[in-house]
Amino acid sequence: MSFFTVVLKNLLRRRTRSLLTMAGIAIGIGAVVALASIAWGFQKSWERTYSARGTDIIVTKITSRSPLPAPFAESLKEEVRRLPGVQQVSGLLSDLASIEDAPTMLVFGWDLDGFLWEHLRLVRGRWPSNDTEKAVVIGTVAAEMLKKSVGDRVRIETEDFTVCGVFDSAALVENGAVVMALPQLQRVMEQPGKVNFLNIKLAPGTTAGQVEELRRTIKARYPGYNAFTGGEVAQHNTGIQVAKAMSWATSIIALVVGAVGVMNTVLMSVFERIHEIGILLAIGWRRSRIVRLILYESMVLSLGGGVAGIGLGVAAVKVMQWTPLMRGKIESEMNLALFGLALLIALGLGMLGGLYPAYRGSRLHPSEALRYE
Amino acid sequence: MPAPPPNPLLEVRDLHRSFDEGRIQALRGVNFQIRQGEAVAIVGPSGSGKSTLLQLIGALDEPTAGDILFRGQSVRQLGDLARFRARMIGFIFQSFHLLPTLTALENVQVPMLEMPWPVAERRQRAADLLRAVGLGNRLDHLPPKLSGGERQRVAIARSLANEPQLLLADEPTGNLDSVSAGRIMELLRQIYRERGMTLIVVTHDPHVAGIAHRTLRMLDGRIAEDTAA
């Protein structure tokens, strides 16, 4: 018989309680896995958006923390285009708009002659033909949400547009968006001559050092503006930061509840076993072995809960992605690092929850514990 | 009275133990010596201090004053009492005190976890001990499936697990009928003789006292009488 056999048999003796405690941990860890994978997925999705667009550097105005950066004059585009190494610059205006019955959607206005269009794949219909046409293309997910297809009319703010095409993008964010010619959105949003992003494409073969150099040049030459690579924009995106903070806040609450559950269970089992701990001390167990017994019990509970929680979290995300309300809107990033982190957190909870009960158990006086019935 | 041996296994010197800030004086100056291989019965009325004395000898408790010497060394100065309990002392209790979730074979192995023996050796030793106490056919039984006498046999096997020198039994037959009690005492007598151990039994039972070489009668926390059988 190994020491671990004693640990497992103690847990099996109180099977229902052990299972309920594990369920508590599983819910906490499940919340961590689900929320973290969605928050990370959200960020990944934005990063993919920029890489799919072929954008190397994005220029925005430094603004207070609104979800989208503030608009600025389009004329900056021509200046940036003349900087060394810049191949193309495409202006972009974006806003959040509620369109008909659908919840808030991203609406983009793009330069018709810009390179952004190149990464979209037209599924049906055609692209907007010129800057004056009151036409939009919509992503496949947006088409589903709005229940619109080619030829339908869609009302954006106060104006009606014709859907002239449906596209598919590698980026989930764009698939759920509406895209039109830049001047059209500038008029609808009452931002004439304004954009809030410049997408810069650099000449092929530009090194990372040259990208960094150009970023510094832009920041130095245009005070009040910032230049990022795609990944950085995703990291600094307020929406993403809020999503991450919310996911951690929710996770921490779930984890604290789980840890208190473990502590309660283990402490109760120590109080019930005072006499038994007395026997173990009487027949020669060291106090450190009593500490280990209790800590191991607590850690087995929380690790078991952690494994179950990963399954629960994965299942929860799959269910969310499948429900009509959420379909196509959430992308999740699940990987071994996340699962490893979840197990580490579970183990930490077990340690934390077991520490005090173990301390209490090891402080028992052998002869008093033996008298205790 | 037998002459004090030159090198006692155990020497108890002016042992005092009080509880409740001195309001209860369980031991009020106990002195005696025990030789290697002796079997000693400690008898006396309830509350005379028998069990307290046994717990002090077994290092489960610490004296208020006085000292216990094991092979001439003060137990107080041992430092690692758990190691002393694990290797030198075997405890047998009135109500067996087996772990209910572990089989007979596993219960006997519980003290062995403190020894540097591999798993297979622990198992082999435990099986041998259970055969020696007549439970070779009950290795995988859980305590609730065993009779009182059988449980006490498992407990005796457990007390022998780490080959201790001193066996301490606190009312070992107190929870058994007279037939089982007689068999358990016979087993104890046989074991301590075969293994050259020293046995101290706390008991009310005159039959139990009958297997001893010597009887210490306690009264009000002192040794009132020390008689050879």
Whether A307 is in a domain gets the answer yes
Contact B63/B56 with Cβ under 8 angstroms?
yes
Regarding whether A89 and A188 lie in a shared domain, the answer is yes
Q: In which region does residue B79 sit, left (phi positive, over 0), alpha (psi from -120 to 50) or beta (all else)?
A: left
Q: Are B60 and A281 an interchain contact pair (Cβ–Cβ within 8 Å)? A: yes
Regarding whether A111 and A84 lie in a shared domain, the answer is yes
What pLDDT score was predicted for residue A226? 86
Number of domains composing chain A? 2
Give me the mean pLDDT over the A347-353 stretch.
Answer: 89
pLDDT digits (tens, 9 = 90+) for A278-329: 999 999 899 999 999 999 999 999 999 999 999 999 999 999 888 776 666 6
Q: Are A286 and B55 an interchain contact pair (Cβ–Cβ within 8 Å)? A: no
Regarding whether A256 and A216 lie in a shared domain, the answer is no
Question: Which positions in chain A touch B162 (Cβ < 8 Å)?
Answer: 284
Residue A104: pLDDT above 90? no
What pLDDT score was predicted for residue A212? 87
Closest CA to A289 of A358, A194, A341: A358
Nearest to B55 among A2, A275, A367 (CB): A367
Q: Are B114 and A276 an interchain contact pair (Cβ–Cβ within 8 Å)? A: no
Quick one: pLDDT band at residue A169, thresholds 50, 70, 90? confident
Q: Report the sign of the C-alpha dihedral through residues A242, A248, A249, A254, in that order.
A: positive
Nearest to B60 among A5, A13, A370 (CB): A370
Whether A51 is in a domain gets the answer no
Regarding whether A195 and A74 lie in a shared domain, the answer is yes
Instruction: Please give the residue that has the higher pLDDT: either A156 or A232.
Output: A156
Residues contacting A4, CB < 8 A, separation 6+: A296
Residue A150: pLDDT above 70? yes
Q: Which range, of A56-60, A65-69, A176-180, averages the lowest pLDDT?
A: A65-69
Regarding whether A333 and A274 lie in a shared domain, the answer is yes
Regarding whether A319 and A199 lie in a shared domain, the answer is no
Mean pLDDT of chain B: 91
> Beta-carbon neighbour count of residue B88 at 10 Å?
20
Here the ipTM equals 0.90
What pLDDT score was predicted for residue B114? 93
pLDDT digits (tens, 9 = 90+) for B119-146: 999 999 999 999 999 999 999 999 999 9
> Taking an 8 Å Cβ-Cβ cutoff, which residues of chain B contact chain A?
55, 58, 60-61, 82-83, 85-87, 89, 91, 93, 97, 99-102, 105-106, 109-111, 113-114, 119, 122-123, 126, 158-159, 161-162
Last residue of a domain, one of A207, A228, A249: A228
Regarding whether A365 and A253 lie in a shared domain, the answer is yes
Tell the CATH superfamily of the B37-45+81-228 domain.
P-loop containing nucleotide triphosphate hydrolases (3.40.50.300)
Whether A264 is in a domain gets the answer yes
Whether A233 is in a domain gets the answer no
What is the dihedral angle through the alpha carbons of A292, A296, A297, A298, rounded to the nearest 10 degrees?
Answer: 110
Q: Are B82 and A286 an interchain contact pair (Cβ–Cβ within 8 Å)? A: yes
A-chain residue closest to B61, CA distance: A367
Instruction: Please give the residue that has the higher pLDDT: either A53 or A345.
Output: A345
Q: Are B113 and A287 an interchain contact pair (Cβ–Cβ within 8 Å)? A: no
Task: Report how far residue B191's alpha carbon sits from residue A34's, in angstroms, rounded to the nearest whole number.
Answer: 62
**The most confident of A203-207, A232-236, A249-253, B11-15, by mean pLDDT:** B11-15
Regarding whether A75 and A219 lie in a shared domain, the answer is yes
Quick one: pLDDT band at residue A334, thresholds 50, 70, 90? confident
Question: Which positions in chain A touch B158 (Cβ < 8 Å)?
Answer: 283
Q: Are A283 and B102 an interchain contact pair (Cβ–Cβ within 8 Å)? A: no
Domain extent, residue A224, equals 57-228
Give me the mean pLDDT over the A22-45 stretch.
Answer: 87
Q: Which range, of A29-43, A137-151, B29-43, averages the lowest pLDDT?
A: A29-43
- State how far residue B90 is from chain A, nearest Cα, in angstroms: 7
Quick one: pLDDT band at residue B108, thresholds 50, 70, 90? very high
Q: Which range, of A292-306, B66-80, B198-212, averages the lowest pLDDT?
A: B198-212
Regarding whether A182 and A107 lie in a shared domain, the answer is yes
Regarding whether A74 and A102 lie in a shared domain, the answer is yes
CA A52 centroid distance within chain: 19
Domain ranges of chain B: 37-45+81-228
Task: Report how far residue A328's alpha carbon sits from residue A321's, in angstroms, rounded to the nearest whole number.
Answer: 7
pLDDT digits (tens, 9 = 90+) for A80-89: 899 888 999 9
What pLDDT score was predicted for residue A44? 81
Whether A76 is in a domain gets the answer yes
Mean pLDDT of chain A: 88
Task: Report how far residue A370's alpha carbon sits from residue B1's, in angstroms, rounded to the nearest whole number.
Answer: 35
Whether A315 is in a domain gets the answer yes
Site from A283, A291, A297 to mutate, B interface, most B CB atoms within 10 angstroms: A283
Q: Are B86 and A284 an interchain contact pair (Cβ–Cβ within 8 Å)? A: yes
First to last CA, chain B: 10
Quick one: pLDDT band at residue B207, thresholds 50, 70, 90? confident
Contact A214/A228 with Cβ under 8 angstroms?
no
Regarding whether A68 and A181 lie in a shared domain, the answer is yes
Last residue of a domain, one of A228, A253, A287: A228
